[in-house]
Amino acid sequence: MEGNESHVAALVETTVFLQSFKDMPDRRQQGKVNYPLAEILLLCLLAVLAGAETFTEIARFGEKKLALLRRFRPYENGTPSHDHLGDIFATLDAKAFQRCFVAWVAAMTNTPAEVVAIDGKTSRRSYQKKGSKEPIHMVSAFAARQRLAIGPMIRSHWAIENSLHWVMDMVFRDDECRVRTENAPANFTTLKHMAHNLTRRAPGKDSLRLRRKTASWDDDYLAGLVAA
């Protein structure tokens, strides 16, 4: 019974996640789409939760974990190759992806979207292939449009941001990420932020690193992370 309840909870949370991204622009020709965007985003999120750090690793996760993925979505055509994943993430609108992320966090935490903090760290090794080595900077955003009491929120924001930098570097190896093409670096960083939010919310006293390792070993635990 407990396993069924966990599965239902995971399905509900996954529905919330995908609903937040339903308006995400998809530039692909719809008649030629074999892999729905919702399935790609869920694949990538679960793979990163389980420790994937590149599109090659995400693609391998998809090959090995198709049965797990089909708990949530049909995946009628299986999962895409790493090249296909990279191409899709390169063309996704990075700002729109961030907005969807904010909407998801707001829904997940019952927090107004206006006060959701977006990390302001630079992914130092994320750069374009075409000779440019400018870092991709995730702009810090913190707004309170409705005259809220924002003092404690601002202090909380900076505490979260400082700790998030450490987590992204040490747990999610953000500064070693070599995703380099077009919008892919910024979108991949946003994806890691999603994974961090879910990993942090999981119950128990295990470290974030151990939680990710457990997610890579235990499908039920991984599925449970999206319902934490």
Domain boundary assignment for the chain: 2-225
Spatial CB neighbours of 15, under 8 Å, sequence gap ≥ 6: none
What is the Cα–Cα distance from 75 to 69, expressed in whole angstroms? 7
What is the Cα–Cα distance from 211 to 22, expressed in whole angstroms? 28
Q: Report the candidate in 86, 97, 92, 89 with the shortest Cα–Cα distance to residue 138.
A: 97
What pLDDT is recorded for position 51?
93
Would you state the structure tokens that stand for residue 124, as one six-digit string?
Answer: 């130092």
What pLDDT is recorded for position 104?
82
Angle between helices 184-201 and 151-170 (to 10 degrees): 110
What pLDDT is recorded for position 22?
84
Q: Report the candidate in 172, 185, 175, 177 with the shortest Cα–Cα distance to residue 128.
A: 185
Q: Which parts of 14-98 are beta strand (E)?
A: none
pTM given for the model: 0.71
What pLDDT is recorded for position 228?
61
Question: Could you say which residues of the chain have pLDDT below 70?
Answer: 1-7, 10, 113-180, 228
- The C-alpha angle 213, 88, 83, rounded to 5 degrees, equals 70
Quick: pLDDT tens for 1-18. Answer: 555 666 677 677 777 778
**Number of other residues whose CB lies within 10 A of the CB of residue 109:** 11
**Number of other residues whose CB lies within 10 A of the CB of residue 106:** 16
What pLDDT is recorded for position 142?
39
**Number of other residues whose CB lies within 10 A of the CB of residue 34:** 11
Quick: pLDDT tens for 112-146. Answer: 766 665 554 434 444 444 444 444 333 334 344 44
Q: Which residues of 148-176 are buried (b: 16+ CB within 10 A; e: fewer)?
A: eebeeeeeebeeebeebbebbeebbebee
What pLDDT is recorded for position 210?
94
What pLDDT is recorded for position 120?
42
* Cβ pair 9, 108 in contact under 8 A: no
What pLDDT is recorded for position 118?
57
